């Protein structure tokens, strides 16, 4: 099934919008995609004919299972490219979205899987959003990046941003594991480093780069 960039953008937008409501309205979609409702209706008909949507006129729309599969592929690509931009090319995590919006439309399946492998099969992107694997399986728990925790919040490490040997070496040295409980004490503006209190251990310092690679759930 080959989709144009526009078609892919509709599929992706419906995927994200239906997370909340289960079903998506024409106006919602028009606002999200920055088009007019009339254009949306046209596209909904087209994608329905391709069996990617479940659509009843006036009743809103949601993805078919085939549509959902494609959406997950697009989301996977988006989040892997964001990870690449931040981890390998040293982009700031707040400046990668637009570029990833372009890169997510590159079609090669082989490219995506090799990129995934190159990045160490990360489970979460730099924003803490889960990356679907090549079968479309995505970890459901929404985790938050350690960098985004407010001071004096208690949290538990539940995932790391990648599997790179360098990261793992550092975590071992700092004795941080999945399940480690901690509390952010200070955030330093200058270098975005953190001082954290590790449960059962003392206070340690975490660099911006390390914090970016750690995902926690608030407890």
Partner DNA sequence: AAAAATATTTAGATTTGTCTAAAAATATTT
Partner DNA sequence: AAATATTTTTAGACAAATCTAAATATTTTT
Helix spans in 59-203 (H): 65-87, 97-103, 109-118, 165-174
Please report, for residues 73, 82, 107, 166, 203, the alpha-carbon distance to residue 154 in angstroms, rounded to integers and kept in the order given. 34, 27, 41, 26, 14
88 contact choice in DNA, its own copies, none (CB below 5 to 8 Å, kind-dependent) = its own copies
114 binds its own copies (CB under 8 A): yes
Cα(127)–Cα(212) distance, integer angstroms: 8
Q: Which of 88, 172, 186, 201 binds its own copies (CB under 8 A)?
A: 88
Q: Are 40 and 89 in contact (CB under 8 A)?
A: no
186 contact choice in its own copies, DNA, none (CB below 5 to 8 Å, kind-dependent) = none
Cα(82)–Cα(1) distance, integer angstroms: 25
Contacts of 13 (CB under 8 A, 6+ apart): 29, 32, 33
51 binds DNA (CB under 7 A): no
21 binds DNA (CB under 7 A): no
Minimum CB distance to DNA smaller for 48 or for 197 = 48
115 contact choice in DNA, its own copies, none (CB below 5 to 8 Å, kind-dependent) = its own copies
Q: Any idea how long the chain is? A: 219
7 contact choice in its own copies, DNA, none (CB below 5 to 8 Å, kind-dependent) = DNA
Segment interacting with its own copies (CB under 8 A) among 31-39, 82-90, 134-142, 185-193? 82-90
Segment interacting with its own copies (CB under 8 A) among 57-65, 113-121, 133-141, 144-152? 113-121
195 binds its own copies (CB under 8 A): no
Angle formed by the axes of helices 37-49 and 5-21, to 10°? 100
The residues of the shown chain that bind its own copies, judged by CB under 8 A, are 85, 88-91, 98-99, 102-103, 106-108, 110-111, 114-115, 118
């Amino acid at each position: 099934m080959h989709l144009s960039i526009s078609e892919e953008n509709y599929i992706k937008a419906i995927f994200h919008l239906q997370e909340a409501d289960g079903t998506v309205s024409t106006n919602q979609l028009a606002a999200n995609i920055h088009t007019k409702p009339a254009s949306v209706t046209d596209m909904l008909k087209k994608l329905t004919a391709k069996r990617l949507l479940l659509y009843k006129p006036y009743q809103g729309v949601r993805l078919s299972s085939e549509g959902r599969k494609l959406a997950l592929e697009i989301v996977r690509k988006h989040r892997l490219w964001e990870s690449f931009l931040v981890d390998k090319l040293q982009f700031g995590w707040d400046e990668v979205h637009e570029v990833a919006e372009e890169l997510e439309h590159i079609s090669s399946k082989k490219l995506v899987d090799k990129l995934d492998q190159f990045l160490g099969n990360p489970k979460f992107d730099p924003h803490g959003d889960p990356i679907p694997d090549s079968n479309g399986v995505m970890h459901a728990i929404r985790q938050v990046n350690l960098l985004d925790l407010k001071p004096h919040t208690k949290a538990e490490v539940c995932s790391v941003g990648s599997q790179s040997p360098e990261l793992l070496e550092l975590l071992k040295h700092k004795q941080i594991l999945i399940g480690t409980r901690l509390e952010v004490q200070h955030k330093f503006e200058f270098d975005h480093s953190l001082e954290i209190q590790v449960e059962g251990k003392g206070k340690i310092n975490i660099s911006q780069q390390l914090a970016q690679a750690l995902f926690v759930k608030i407890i």
